[in-house]
Amino acid sequence: MLNPVWLNTFKTLIEIGHFTQTAEKLFMTQPGVSQHIKKLEAACGHDLIKRINKQFELTEQGRMVYDYALRVAAEEQQLLDSLSFDDPFEGTCRVSCSGSLALWLYPHLLTLQKAHPKLTMSLEVAPNYKILDGLQAGTVDLGIVTHIPNPSLYNSRVLGQEPLCLALPTAMATTPVTPDSLKTCGAVMHPDAAHYLSLYFEQCGNAEFANMNVDDVPAVSYINQLSQILLPVAEGIGFTVLPQSAIHAFPRKEELAVHTPESPVVETLYLVTKRNRDLPARYQQIIHALEAKFAAE
């Protein structure tokens, strides 16, 4: 890599055309200017100027290096200009959240991108630990998780609460839902099923459910694709618990029975960034959309 200081001295000399005036402009001595030129010539392996008494002429190699110096200066100025202007409608937004929240969020991100084509939306569906790892690694800038992360590593605040729903086959719509009936029906398991079931049994306000052990519920199916989890329930096979957004997004939701608990069952969501990481202005639109969603619920 060519020394940028030597390159700038050479560029200035060509533009001014005089060693003494170049030295004055750069607050150097004339011998210092000459030394920079000689070092640059040595680095390039070619004479860059042809000295004629107190004047000089560019060699062909010198003209090529001068053109290169102009490009470097222009790129540097462009970089400095871009650093001083945080465009809220340009750049890549890298967000990570759960699959159920992504069902709602991704269409909103695309709406923003359609309105502002210089925005690029990157949304990764991931479990909590992977979201947090991505924030630390710098592959994700904004994450949404379901627990408070380590405050020494992350900044977090409550975003809102996502209702959890117990989805049942329609055959159970008119019969009492009890621990025994759930055990008879069996659970459609998925990666978050045990966690969601525990929350539901604990928060639903039914003492019999609160005393249930998730491990006592037999599994009748397992699937790790969010869009398919409710399919067996719609076919009359098993029950499951999912966030409300996943229920609403299911195309056959009319073929489900959703249990009405005595007390609302919710999961708290946290908006997370890497500690001491200041987000660019373009993320504010996403944050406002998320806040509006949960404020309306």
Tell me the pairing of strands 142-145 and 91-97. Answer: parallel
Q: How many CB atoms lie within 10 A of CB 295?
A: 8
276 CB-side CA count, 13 A? 3
Query: Which letter does DSSP use for residue 167 in this model?
Result: E
- Fold classification of 162-267 is D-Maltodextrin-Binding Protein; domain 2 (3.40.190)
Single-letter amino acid, residue 165:
C
> How many whole angstroms from its chain centre is CA 90?
15
- Alpha carbon distance 166, 257 (integer Å): 8
Neighbouring residues of 252: CB distance < 8 A, sequence distance ≥ 6: 230, 231, 234
How many CA atoms does the CB half-sphere of 215 hold within 13 Å? 0
pTM tops 0.85: no
Characterize 216-248 residue by residue with b for buried, 16 or more Cβ atoms within 10 angstroms of its Cβ, and e for exposed. Answer: ebeebbebeebeebbbbbbeeebbbbbbbbbbe
Q: Which CATH number fits domain 91-158+272-295: 3.40.190.10, 3.40.1010.10, 3.30.300.30, 3.40.50.10420?
A: 3.40.190.10
Region 4-83: CATH code: 1.10.10.10
Phi/psi for 86 (5° steps) reads -95, 90
Domain 4-83 and domain 162-267 have a common topology: no
Where in the chain are the domains? 4-83, 91-158+272-295, 162-267
Looking up tokens 């200066």, which residue turns up? 73
Per-residue pLDDT of the chain (297 residues; tens, 9 = 90+): 899 999 999 999 999 999 999 999 999 999 999 999 999 999 999 999 998 877 889 999 999 999 999 999 999 888 887 776 788 998 999 999 998 899 889 999 999 999 999 999 999 999 899 999 999 999 999 999 999 999 999 999 999 999 999 999 999 999 999 999 999 999 999 989 999 999 999 999 999 999 999 999 999 999 999 999 999 999 999 999 999 999 999 999 999 999 999 999 999 999 999 999 999 999 999 999 899 888 876
